[in-house]
Amino acid sequence: MTEHGDHPIVHVEYPEWVDSIVDWNCAYATDEDRMKLAIAVSRTNVECGTGGPFGAAIFEMNSGRLVSVGMNSVLRYNNCVLHGEIMAFMMANQRVGSFTLNAPNLPPHELHTSCEPCAMCLGATLWSGVQRVVYGAAREDASILSFEEGPVFPESYHYLEERGIEIVRNVLRAEARAVLELYRQKSGKIYNG
Amino acid sequence: MTEHGDHPIVHVEYPEWVDSIVDWNCAYATDEDRMKLAIAVSRTNVECGTGGPFGAAIFEMNSGRLVSVGMNSVLRYNNCVLHGEIMAFMMANQRVGSFTLNAPNLPPHELHTSCEPCAMCLGATLWSGVQRVVYGAAREDASILSFEEGPVFPESYHYLEERGIEIVRNVLRAEARAVLELYRQKSGKIYNG
């Protein structure tokens, strides 16, 4: 892929199992309903061996309409940036046809993610235009598996909050953490150790 | 793109102009040679109207062999995460066939970027496996155009340095800043204002 006219191409799709667990037409009413979906994505990703134990989903805040899901795809695509949240943002951008979910013609959107976002994904939430971030398992839960979260500080969250992004922590934390534990039991690869 | 079997797909390629300014077979010997390429990428991206005023390139540190370039592609692909650095990381992963550039069978790699990385891209440098980050224009230069960098603090850089990543600042800063100025003169869109 090094010669003129023969460059690398990045091509990203959902794994085949996505429709077996995602109901695209259901309205996800509560935070628990929405987090359950993010956790189900993380769990299926582990069970099917398609990636790390992390899942995410983006919803219209008020209607609960599902816009996208994202599953960690670092190993599946040999691509270091394809965390669950990044995948969810990219797919949501594609689906709404806008580089921001905070466009004047769009309703407000929110991210649910099965685990506290890493530094990259927390930065990306700003660019995505979501107005609310809800996470399940905490940084400490991921670090038990030696997954690193990068340079995230209390000030990082303050920065987002000052820009109007609401942060909600530890929703269904035990269920989310159980998927991390499952990955550990299966001796899943720690790709960012 | 909402129905079963009809999901969004992310497909990313270089713009057509890439081979007109990138010599894939040249060894880029010095930091200035390498930064010149990153800046040329940023400038051509503006001149050709393919994205924001940001360019990046990844090299093997010792040989100076070019592995990938990246140009901001947020607007071209309606994709909020496609900053120049993210594009360079993804393309480098593809090219070497590894989710990390810090694999035992690979020589050390480094990132050159025409402007100080935002929070997302700085986080991604950790996951990419590059061992050195060299930037041109500074955060303040980008903020004159109202481009935001997100939650990056002095501790963020310390975090990377503690993990063995060398940071080199303001290489060819004036040349890099001139591309930001060109974008402003052309009234380029500020997509993360």
Give chain B positions within 8 Å (CB) of A151. 122-123, 126, 153, 155-156, 159-160
Q: Is A107 on the interface with B (CB under 8 A)?
A: no
Using CA atoms, how far apart are residues A121 and A87, in angstroms rounded to an integer?
Answer: 10
Using CA atoms, how far apart are residues B29 and B103, in angstroms rounded to an integer?
Answer: 23
Q: Are A38 and A112 in contact (CB under 8 A)?
A: yes
Q: Is A78 in contact with B93 (Cβ distance < 8 A)?
A: yes
H-state helical runs in chain A: 18-21, 31-47, 74-77, 84-96, 119-128, 139-143, 154-162, 173-185
From A135's Cα to the closest Cα of chain B, the distance in A is 18
Percent of chain B with pLDDT over 70: 96
Residue written as tokens 């007109």? B20
**Three-state DSSP string of B73-142:** CHHHHCCCCCCHHHHHHHHHHHHHCCCCCCCCCCCCEEEEEEECCCHHHHHHHHHHCCCEEEEEECHHHH
Q: Which of B67, B132, B74, B113 is nearest to B93 (CA)?
A: B67
From B54's Cα to the closest Cα of chain A, the distance in A is 16
Q: Which phi and psi (to 5°) does residue A50 adopt?
A: -100, 5
From B177's Cα to the closest Cα of chain A, the distance in A is 22
From A37's Cα to the closest Cα of chain B, the distance in A is 17
B100-112 per-position pLDDT tens digit: 999 999 999 999 9
Q: Give me the interface pTM, i.e. the ipTM.
A: 0.95
Interval A100-110 mean pLDDT:
97
Give chain B positions within 8 Å (CB) of A191. 99-100
Interval B119-138 mean pLDDT:
98
Q: Is B119 in contact with A126 (Cβ distance < 8 A)?
A: yes
Q: Is A164 on the interface with B (CB under 8 A)?
A: no
Q: Is B91 in contact with A8 (Cβ distance < 8 A)?
A: yes
**What is the pLDDT, as a whole number, of residue A2?**
42
In the set A60, A85, A116, A175, the catalytic residue is A85
Q: Which of A51, A43, A61 is nearest to A112 (CA)?
A: A61
Q: Is A89 on the interface with B (CB under 8 A)?
A: yes
**What is the pLDDT, as a whole number, of residue A145?**
84
| pLDDT confidence tier of residue A111, bands split at 50, 70 and 90 | very high
B95: exposed, middle or buried (Cβ count in 10 Å: 0-12, 13-18, 19+): middle
Q: Are B116 and B150 in contact (CB under 8 A)?
A: no
**What is the pLDDT, as a whole number, of residue A146?**
85
pTM over 0.90: yes
Give chain A positions within 8 Å (CB) of B159. 150-151
Q: Is A94 on the interface with B (CB under 8 A)?
A: yes
| 3-class DSSP state of A144 | coil
Q: Is the pLDDT of residue B3 over 80?
A: no
Give chain B positions within 8 Å (CB) of A147. none
Q: Which of A89, A123, A128 lies closest to B118 in CB terms?
A: A123
